[in-house]
Amino acid sequence: VTVPGFMVINTDGLVDFLIGVLDNPSNSDDMVIEACGALWACLSKQPNANTNLLPQCFRAVLGLCVRHKGESTAFNSPILTEAAGTLSSVMYCVRENPFYISDEDIDAIISILDIVIECDVQNFSLMERLMDAIFSLCFLSKEVLIQFGVIVVVIDCMVEHETNEMIQQMGCAILALLASTENLQVNLSIAETDGIDMLVSALAGFTENLVIQTDACRALSHFSIDLEMK
Task: Please write the tens of the pLDDT for every residue from 155-212.
Answer: 999 999 999 999 999 999 999 999 887 777 888 889 888 899 999 999 999 999 999 9
Q: What is the pLDDT of residue 5?
A: 56
The span from the CA of 150 to the CA of 155, in Å, is 9
The span from the CA of 146 to the CA of 43, in Å, is 28
pLDDT confidence tier of residue 2, bands split at 50, 70 and 90: low
Q: Please, are residues 190 and 229 in contact by the beta-carbon 8 Å criterion?
A: no
204 vs 5, higher pLDDT: 204
Using CB atoms within 10 A of its CB, is residue 174 exposed (0-12), middle (13-18) or buried (19+)? buried
Contacts of 124 (CB under 8 A, 6+ apart): 161, 164, 166, 167
Percent of the chain with pLDDT over 70: 91
The span from the CA of 136 to the CA of 132, in Å, is 7
pLDDT confidence tier of residue 3, bands split at 50, 70 and 90: low
Q: What is the pLDDT of residue 31?
A: 97
pLDDT of 14 > 70? The answer is yes
Task: Please write the tens of the pLDDT for every residue from 103-136.
Answer: 999 999 999 999 999 999 999 999 999 999 999 9
According to DSSP, residue 70 is labeled S
The span from the CA of 87 to the CA of 93, in Å, is 10
pLDDT confidence tier of residue 7, bands split at 50, 70 and 90: low
Q: What is the pLDDT of residue 170?
A: 97
The span from the CA of 91 to the CA of 129, in Å, is 11
Percent of the chain with pLDDT over 90: 73
Backbone φ and ψ of 192, nearest 5°? -70, -15
pLDDT confidence tier of residue 10, bands split at 50, 70 and 90: low
Q: What is the pLDDT of residue 229?
A: 53
Extract the runs of DSSP E, i.e. beta strands, from the chain. none
pLDDT confidence tier of residue 72, bands split at 50, 70 and 90: confident
